[in-house]
Structure 1
Amino acid sequence: MIASEYPMDSKDHLPLEAKRMLRSLASEWDDVLDSNALQVIPLKGAMTNQVFQIKWPTNGVARKVLVRIYGEGVEVFFDRDNEIRTFEFMSKHGQGPRLLGRFSNGRVEEFIHARTLSAPDLRDSEISARIAAKMREFHSLDMPGPKNAVLWYRLRKWLKTAKDMATSGEAEAVNLDAVEDEILLLQRKLAGEEHMGFCHNDLQYGNIMMDEDTKAITIIDYEYSSYNPIAFDIANHFCEMAADYHSETPHILDYGKYPDLQERRRFIHVYLSHSGDVQSDAEVEQLLQDVEKYKLASHLFWGLWGIISEHVNEIDFDYMGYARQRFEQYWSTRPVLLSSHGTSPSDGVRDS
């Protein structure tokens, strides 16, 4: 997650290995006046990794790269080697920044000369349409390797880890003991609605960049990317509209900002139409319904992530407070969202 700069003299925050790599890169660029004169600017909004913009003085426009230092303990969430392979694949296919170098606990990336979106941007109808079109392109990528949904396996894996790490109070607060049955229920109820695609799985505003001149959208940060039901990825993006990770309380979610029916229908219409095919109203409505149900999976996904992050990540963020909100949304919306499947509203639901 990448966002705005904040001033800080933070050279000492970079590993020595990273500094050596940066100086080596800069020494190969004729326009850099002094390869040792690197300016390090931490970027706000990161909740998995530490991210820095690196600048060098030149005779013209300053040279910039991005350094990503991997968060401690986050390998529990994804396979770093798979993430690197995805990054390199994206780079080769013009879908994101180029990989400039790797060191033991991070990497150096090309700096994209575009702005990172803000929370309000996701509600801008023009920008939202561009995101919908780009998401369709992303989902259509033919990534090497297995093309099976990772969602259900990942939820079970994260649940086991969360149970091992959570205190009894944390587990009780979100009714963690009931989640295993809920994962089974969702997988069973949503079977047959799993139109697959290569999904980003974390499409919040900090992972979307836009060129101010061309308005071209670039999706970045592929740590959580995998094949999954496309409805899950769209649902997750809609849920992210409730977040503002640059507010004074970045963990607080405002579900009053969740897109209304008209906004969701417009997004899905653009998404389905981007391939050039004429989409029927029935197709739009079906995906619209599927997305709303997969919203439940998104709440479990990031709720479990929050519990685990509380115990493995040292970034200043109230992960447990965030997790509680995602679980509260799960338990409170589950009866309505699954009612069309004939699920009893009281089946496994606690008072929220």
Structure 2
Amino acid sequence: MESSRANAIASGQTRSRSRSRSRNRSRSTSRRPSLNKRSLSSSSSIGKLDITPIEIQDRPIPRVGITLDNTLPLDFFKQDILALTKTLRISKWHKKTLNVKYLKVNRISGALTNSIYKIEYNDGNIELPSLLLRVYGKNLDSIIDRDLELDILIKLSSKKIGPKLLGIFSNGRFEQFLEGFITLDKDQVKHEVISQMIGRRMKDLHYKIELDSHDYESKLPMCWRLIYKWLSIIEKDIVPSYIENKVDIDSVFLTSFENFKKLIELYRNYLFNLYDVDKFTENYKFCHNDTQYGNLLLDQTFNPKDIILQKELPSSAASYSAIIDDDEEDDDYETDDAVVISTSNKKDTSLVVIDFEYSGPNFPAFDLEDHFSEWMSDYHNPEKSYFIHGEFYPNQLQKLNLIKSYIEYDFQYPSSNLNTKIKFNDFSKTNATDLIQFEIKKLYNETIYWRSTVQIYWCLWGILQNGPFKANDDINTISQKSEEQGVNSIYNISTGVDSMSIDDHENLIIEDAITSSDDDFDYFKYSQQKAAIVIGDLIGLGLISKSDIDVPYHNIIKYLDCNLFDI
């Protein structure tokens, strides 16, 4: 079927798709069985769309106030995608007459908050540049400020950082698809060369993207502003719905919600007092705040060997043991002659950071620790995608590998105003190596201090993503008919019993819903895993004792290394 506007609104035409076609669509995760099987028909309806261009330097970016429904059956979803490319005047797409059957829509792995798709078109005569389609997830209005995100994307685009922004609609956007780049996986981010590249790329974001003057006005960095905002929403809208339905939400926090709030406040006071209170906001830098492996892309032609300068350097400059051995009292640290490899930054542009929806003014230590904490997740585990694997948290040498790369690249002093016993008041008498090693140790300590902030942040995020309590659908809702508004059509969709023949009943339990998105992630269990690390860290830092937590939850607590350098 042609996707021109005239054909897209043609009335009286019926579209259908077989179950076999639904199975051929690429998915990033396995999906649970569903009762929702659909039969399809379409009738025309279209309203004029108002386009508001947004200027990025001399390049206008079209913006339209319309919602793209990625739960539509795939054929309808494809039709709406093509209609949007025309409405938004996507370069090289909107002037072509395209046939929907040649459009490929593949779900890309790596995203929890959004549904991300690679859009391709090739009919043998016309081959168009691929697009990245991002459709925002559910329950996100209270989590992400889309206007702020757009401002940040405009700022980044003006500096040619990240993919080019092509068009914006109410619940998503089109971006340039970076051909030849692959999404890193949970193992690749741990590679010692790639880890050093990640450290340098984060340093670029922190120091080369300037904050605006108003970013320093808040006494709270972005992560803590959101923590308090989310706590308020959870207390007002979510906790009551679970209490009303006699669901034990306290098990998510390993304590009562009220006590969890008190622990958060106890920890925040401890954390903030570690810094120079009068100059607290001077620590703010532009941070990504979500550098999980799915948000890191690598040029598939990149070879780590191309940037290795040498595998051993003099211990005064590169040996991890040179950093560790200075702390004679830290017996818990390994003191093997572990040596860091040295790498060049000449191919750092081979690594691209994407998805800036959580970015903003923050402490760099939060940003680095957020990345370290993501090492513990395996979002594509078919059975326990929510589970946090404490044993995968980077060990001391792995953390130092990234932190050393971060500190030495475009060296900045001081990297923060963390209160320390050691002071460098006279730079003319300070050995450069001593100064660098001090900054490495300081940032290492800060990542441990900020680790609970990271876990609290994503714990609350998971609860908001899950949303208020929803009772299971009643059996009477299985059979129903509805109309769904597409971009330029109304789709009449029959679901459940009305759309099945007698022969279909035996497949009712195992048949997938024919939709273009899925969300099987267990947000509550994910939040509980994050809370378990918070409790473990507060015990490890000496802020609470294990006896403060009810005994039934003791076996859930997760303990990570809380040892600090003595500086």
Tell me, yes or no, if structure 1 residue 283 matches structure 2 residue 439.
yes
Structure 2 counterpart SS, 1:97: coil
Partner amino acid for 1:165? I
Q: Describe the shift of the 1:52–1:177 C-alpha distance in structure 2 as closer, same or farther (beyond 3 A).
A: same
More off after superposition, 189-198 vs 133-142: 189-198
Separation of aligned partners in 2, 1:26 and 1:38: 15
Tell me, yes or no, if structure 1 residue 179 matches structure 2 residue 260.
yes
> Per-residue CA shift, 1:268-296, capped at 9, x if unaligned?
11111111465521211111111011111
Tell me, yes or no, if structure 1 residue 136 matches structure 2 residue 203.
yes
Separation of aligned partners in 2, 1:30 and 1:67: 15
Q: Describe the shift of the 1:15–1:159 C-alpha distance in structure 2 as closer, same or farther (beyond 3 A).
A: farther
Tell me, yes or no, if structure 1 residue 83 matches structure 2 residue 152.
no
Equivalent position to 1:199, from 287, 295, 301: 287
Separation of aligned partners in 2, 1:172 and 1:40: 40
Separation of aligned partners in 1, 2:168 and 2:75: 18
Structure 2 counterpart SS, 1:55: strand
> Per-residue CA shift, 1:231-259, capped at 9, x if unaligned?
11111110000011112121112111100
Partner amino acid for 1:239? S
Match of 2:311 in 1: none
Q: Describe the shift of the 1:15–1:202 C-alpha distance in structure 2 as closer, same or farther (beyond 3 A).
A: farther
- Identity over aligned residues, as a percent? 26
Partner amino acid for 2:365? A
Alignment of 1:107-256 (within 5 A): 107-113=173-179, 114-140=181-207, 141-144=209-212, 145-147=214-216, 148=218, 149-163=221-235, 164-166=237-239, 167-168=242-243, 169-174=248-253, 175=255, 176-191=257-272, 192-193=274-275, 195-213=283-301, 216-248=350-382, 249-256=384-391
Separation of aligned partners in 2, 1:310 and 1:19: 31
Cα distance, 1:20 vs structure 2: 1.5
Partner amino acid for 2:362? N
Partner amino acid for 2:222? V
Partner amino acid for 1:200? H
Equivalent position to 2:461, from 298, 305, 308: 305
Alpha-carbon contact 1:199-1:228 (below 8 Å) kept = yes
Cα distance, 1:265 vs structure 2: 1.3
Match of 2:333 in 1: none
Separation of aligned partners in 2, 1:236 and 1:7: 26
Separation of aligned partners in 1, 2:182 and 2:389: 24
Structure 2 counterpart SS, 1:112: coil
Structure 1 counterpart SS, 2:141: helix
Alpha-carbon contact 2:222-2:360 (below 8 Å) kept = yes
More off after superposition, 311-320 vs 7-16: 7-16
Cα distance, 1:162 vs structure 2: 2.1
Alpha-carbon contact 2:252-2:525 (below 8 Å) kept = no
Tell me, yes or no, if structure 1 residue 261 matches structure 2 residue 396.
yes
Alpha-carbon contact 1:33-1:59 (below 8 Å) kept = no
Cα distance, 1:61 vs structure 2: 6.7
Alignment of 1:29-40 (within 5 A): 34=98, 36=100, 37-40=102-105
Cα distance, 1:31 vs structure 2: 11
Partner amino acid for 1:255? G
Match of 2:138 in 1: 72
Match of 2:407 in 1: 272
Match of 2:53 in 1: none
Separation of aligned partners in 1, 2:26 and 2:222: 36
Q: TM-score, normalized by length of structure 1?
A: 0.88
Separation of aligned partners in 2, 1:7 and 1:317: 14
Question: Which has a greater percent of helix?
Answer: 1
Match of 1:21 in 2: 84
Partner amino acid for 1:50? S
Structure 2 counterpart SS, 1:39: strand
Structure 1 counterpart SS, 2:187: helix
More off after superposition, 191-200 vs 62-71: 191-200
Separation of aligned partners in 2, 1:26 and 1:102: 10
Q: Which ranges of 4 or more aligned residues in structure 1 deviate by more than 6 Å? A: 30-33
Where structure 1 has 5 or more consecutive residues not aligned to the other structure, the ranges are: none
